[in-house]
Amino acid sequence: MTEADAIAAADRPATRTSLATDLTALGVESGMTLMVHSSLSRLGFVAGGAPAVVLALLDAVGPDGTVMMPTLSNHLGDPAEWRNPPVPETWWQTIRDEVPAYDPALTPTRLMGAIVECFRHQPGVRRSAHPTASMAATGPRAPELLEPHELDYPLGEASPLARLYALDAHILLLGVTHANNTSLHLAEYRSPPPTGLPHVRRGAPILHDGERVWATYDDIEDDDEDFADLGEAFAETGLERCGPVGAGVGRLMRSRDVVDFGVEWLRDHRHGA
């Protein structure tokens, strides 16, 4: 969506104040722990752009609340797995040898959007240590959500997503659908248990004792192609609140509700259990 499209999609500009009001009406509360997936362009014209959205989110949860966002950087992963777009096999070793190591402050996100990129630069935001599957958060619960973030199975039981679930936190889809809901990868780990899922060996450059190394780690073969269908089915349970945020739609739910539903849905529809 272009800026002209965003203007055409809105009756009036959204602002930090109006967005915070919309979020509160949707059910976002002071003190809430909130995982946010977002698209700036889907909110229509926002006066101030991404910073206004970030500040509105922080206003809505208040100083006692915690906001977390996915800051994925899969462009640091093994080029042998790249599909969008792929690169020639003759390039693979050069990329493995030369791509700079993951740096929480320096490494940009990939395909996460302007709101996430703005959020990760907000003063007080911390970012987890995983080179391709990091999360960023700010607020009182940020340390317990983000640390540690081990290399193996980065979206599974030892991840920020599992800690979000354990805290009975909320997920907000801001202008996006469940196709963008990273938390559903936790449901993949649990449906069926990881021993029944295809496993892969992945790699990425990290700093180890101050030296750049190519580290390898274990993971599952994740797949988000049916997450939109899963999300449509979840919406029918009534456990998802929907409402306007700017010119877009916000969807608010508990992490436990959607992950638990996702486990069963994937067993029935993907694994044929």
Q: Which residue has the higher pLDDT, 220 or 3?
A: 220
How is residue 75 written in tokens? Answer: 């462009």
How is residue 162 written in tokens? Answer: 């599992």
**Contact of 248 with 43, CB cutoff 8 Å:** yes
Kindly report the average pLDDT of the chain as a whole number.
Answer: 94
Q: Does 195 score more than 60 pLDDT?
A: no
Q: Where are the beta strands (DSSP E) in the chain?
A: 33-38, 66-70, 126-127, 135-138, 170-174, 199-208, 211-220, 241-245, 248-254
Residue ranges of alpha helices (H) inside 36-91 are 50-61
- Report which of 130, 80, 83 is spatially closest to residue 102, judged by C-alpha positions: 130
Q: Among the ranges 188-197, 219-228, 229-238, which has the highest mean pLDDT value?
A: 229-238
Give CA separation, 252 vs 84, 86, 182, in Å: 30, 35, 14
In this structure, the number of other CB atoms found within 10 A of the CB of residue 20 comes to: 21
Report, as an integer, the average pLDDT of 129-135. Answer: 97
Instruction: Lowest mean pLDDT of 38-52, 95-109, 183-197, name the range.
Output: 183-197
Instruction: Tell me the HSE value of 75 on the side-chain side, using a 13 A CA sphere.
Output: 12
- Report which of 156, 173, 207, 153 is spatially closest to residue 36, judged by C-alpha positions: 173
Q: Which helix (H) or strand (E) holds 257?
A: helix 255-269
Give CA separation, 5 vs 10, 43, 180, 208, 246, in Å: 9, 11, 22, 46, 14
Q: State the pLDDT at residue 273.
A: 52
Q: State the pLDDT at residue 1.
A: 67
Q: How many angstroms separate the CA atoms of 90 and 98, rounded?
A: 14
**Contact of 120 with 136, CB cutoff 8 Å:** yes
Q: How many angstroms separate the CA atoms of 108 and 131, rounded?
A: 11
**pLDDT digits over 242-261, tens only?**
999 999 999 999 999 999 99
Per-residue confidence band for 228, with pLDDT thresholds at 50, 70 and 90:
very high
